[in-house]
Amino acid sequence: MQVWNTLDAWFARRKAIPPGTSIGFVPTMGALHAGHAALVERSRKENDVVVVSIFVNPSQFNDPKDLEKYPRTMESDLAILKSIGTDDVITPAVSDFYPNGYRFRIETNQQQAVMEEKHRPGFLQGVMTIVMKLLNVVQADRAYFGEKDFQQLRTVTEMVDDFFMQTKIVPCETVREASGLAMSSRNALLTPEARERAAVIFKALTGSTNASDAASALEAAGLQVDYVEEHWNRRFAAAFLEGVRLIDNVPLAGAR
């Protein structure tokens, strides 16, 4: 496994990959867990070369404190990636990706803002901007995204289609802990007790008859609900526990 700490170093490596070699790409912000590993393992099965990025993207954080406390575990992340057969890891500095600051950005139609786009102003803008940069940098055949961040996955897929980009976006099912809690880097910020309590999010989403009942179940369990909504034949939730914001979603009954 090779680690590239600058984009210039990566570009030299990218030019050396023979034409016709299939490349799979998994973009991450680090603090890796089994959900990330599943994305990498699928990419390993479907491509000749597997590339992973580790970059905590400042433009998608609307709260500086949230950015500051985001877990950073580079040493263990690299050990995980090496153990599952990653070929290349890109870990550039912020100045590499934003040499002129946050000057140019990709935006959606704000009139249709829902969920993350509504409750975290600038979030999807930041996601789309960095994903477009990453896809241009890696030039992969396929890029793998988890369904836990379903709105992000859907937005990125539509952006790639609208801009005629050549990378295929591959959706992958959410990986869960035994309790049902969706695996997330933010789970590491929870105490063991809170981690057990957080399983109520999945239970509320799957066991309630509607979004309102699911929200009531979360509130009864002591979580601060940001939203529970239904879109695209799925039920979504965002809630705070111990000051940590957790999200999840499930398909509605009968949805394909």
Q: Where along the chain do its domains lie?
A: 2-172, 185-248
142 forms beta bridges with 24, 168
- Is domain 185-248 given the CATH code 3.40.50.450 in the classification? no
Q: Please tell me the distance from the alpha carbon of residue 181 to that of residue 246, in angstroms, as a whole number.
A: 10
pTM, to two decimals:
0.94
pLDDT value of residue 253: 81
Task: Say if residue 212's pLDDT is above 60.
Answer: yes
Q: Lay out the sheet containing 88-90: strands in order across.
A: 2-4, 88-90, 49-54, 23-28, 142-146, 168-172
First to last CA, the chain: 38
What mean pLDDT do residues 194-223 have? 97
One of 3.40.630.10, 3.40.50.620, 3.40.50.1970, 3.10.129.10 is the CATH number of 2-172, namely 3.40.50.620
Token pair 């404190």 is found at 65
Cβ contact 23:48 at 8 Å: yes
pLDDT value of residue 65: 87
pLDDT value of residue 30: 95
Cβ contact 182:248 at 8 Å: yes
pLDDT, tens digit, for every residue of 74-103?
999 999 999 999 999 999 999 999 999 999
The answer to whether 119 is a known catalytic residue is: no
Residue of 33, 36, 119, 231 with catalytic role: 36
pLDDT, tens digit, for every residue of 121-138?
889 999 999 999 999 999
Could you give the C-alpha distances from 7 to 49, 133, 162, 253, in angstroms and in order?
18, 11, 26, 45
Cβ atoms < 10 Å from Cβ of 136: 10
pLDDT, tens digit, for every residue of 28-67?
999 999 999 999 999 999 999 999 999 999 999 888 888 9
